[in-house]
Amino acid sequence: MKAVVEKYHGLGNDYLVFDPNKNKLELNPHNVALLCNRNFGVGADGVLEGPVLENDRISMVVWNPDGSIAEKSGNGVRIFAKYLKDAGYVQKKDFHIHTAGGQVSIHYLNEEGTRLKASMGKVSFWSDDVPVEGPRREIINETMVFGRIPYPVTCLSIGNPHCVILMDEISKDLVCRIGRYSESARQFPEKINTQIMKVLDRTHIQTEVYERGAGYTLASGSGCCAAAAAAYRLGLTDPKMLVQMPGGTMELEIEEDGTVLLTGDVGFVGTMKLGSTFVEQLRSFT
């Protein structure tokens, strides 16, 4: 049995697109983890399964590299939109992708589909939407302790959960040190994505991200949406800003109703035909 995956990246945040209409293999947590393994598999920050086509509805599933499922991914939906254009599923400039974390509106900004704007939905800072344990409240600049160190935390949902920490200086080592504790902290019953954020001025911020189920990544679409929304809610930025990550920069705009618009580039790496022995190994997981 043959199997084919397409590899793309959004600012170094790389995903495999697995099209169920072209493959007979069924994905599960174990074979997804093997596919994403950078030594024994293809290597990626996750797998995008789809399209699932129902009437005019296009749906996708976002798999984390540990085999868990994410509700939504900002880079993932843009990569998936690029694949849909490449594979001939979509010819229109504007359409919708359905995820477990809600509907995302896509707008192609060039003919190649390498630059896209995604309407990621509305943010909510309410604890029961994130979710965060305790009485119902908006989690704005609340002190939480991770690894015995207190941090000023703003939590929000944009279809998936985020914890944003404002800091004077940020680094990979620091976000990994915090993220190892915060991801599975008792406050977060469904775990959480963690961003540490530095505000440069009213139109520029920097972030480092530790993603739930993936660990450290060079960029995160939903993560930079969360950081931008937090910075704006804290009164530190204007509603339009650039978010700088190790993998590159994205443009963010927060509309009056709380909807976040994400604009950035997507790159195509290549089509990969998986070897027959490797496919049998993937099939052996049940």
Q: 37 labelled as ligand-binding?
A: no
Q: Is 202 annotated as a binding residue?
A: no
Per-residue pLDDT of the chain (286 residues; tens, 9 = 90+): 789 999 999 999 999 999 999 999 999 999 999 999 999 999 999 999 999 999 889 999 999 999 999 999 999 999 999 999 999 999 999 999 999 999 999 999 999 999 999 999 999 999 999 999 999 999 999 999 999 999 999 999 999 999 999 999 999 999 999 999 999 999 999 999 999 999 999 999 999 999 999 999 999 999 999 999 999 999 999 999 999 999 999 999 999 999 999 999 999 999 999 999 999 999 999 7
**Per-domain residue ranges of the chain:** 4-114+267-283, 122-265
Q: Give how far Cα 51 sits from Cα of 15, 48, 73, 161, Å.
A: 15, 9, 15, 24
Q: 221: annotated binding-site residue?
A: yes
How far apart are alpha carbons 166 and 192 in whole angstroms? 16
User: Do the bridges between strand 57-63 and strand 47-54 make them parallel or antiparallel, or are there none, so unpaired?
Assistant: antiparallel
Residue 276 assigned ligand-binding role: no
Tokens 């749906």: give the residue.
Answer: 59
Evaluate the omega torsion of the peptide bond into residue 246 and state whether it is cis, within 30 degrees of 0.
no
Strands (E), the chain: 4-10, 13-18, 47-54, 57-63, 69-70, 94-99, 102-108, 115-122, 142-146, 149-157, 161-166, 193-201, 204-211, 215-217, 240-245, 248-254, 259-265, 267-273
Q: Which fold has domain 122-265?
A: Diaminopimelate Epimerase; Chain A, domain 1 (3.10.310)
Query: Can you tell me the distance from the alpha carbon of 89 to that of 21, in angstroms, rounded to the nearest whole number?
Result: 11
Domains 4-114+267-283 and 122-265 share a fold: yes
* CB contact at 8 A, 260 and 121: yes
When the candidates are 2.30.29.30, 3.30.420.40, 3.10.310.10, 3.40.640.10, the CATH number that belongs to 4-114+267-283 is: 3.10.310.10
* 222 annotated ligand-binding residue: yes
Does residue 211 have a known ligand-binding role? Answer: yes
Say whether 233 counts as a known binding-site residue: no
CB-based burial label for 188 (10 Å; 0-12, 13-18, 19+):
buried
Is 39 annotated in a binding site? The answer is: no
Which CA distances in Å does 260 have to 149, 226, 237, 267? Answer: 31, 9, 14, 22
Give the number of other Cβ atoms within 10 Å of residue 271's Cβ: 11
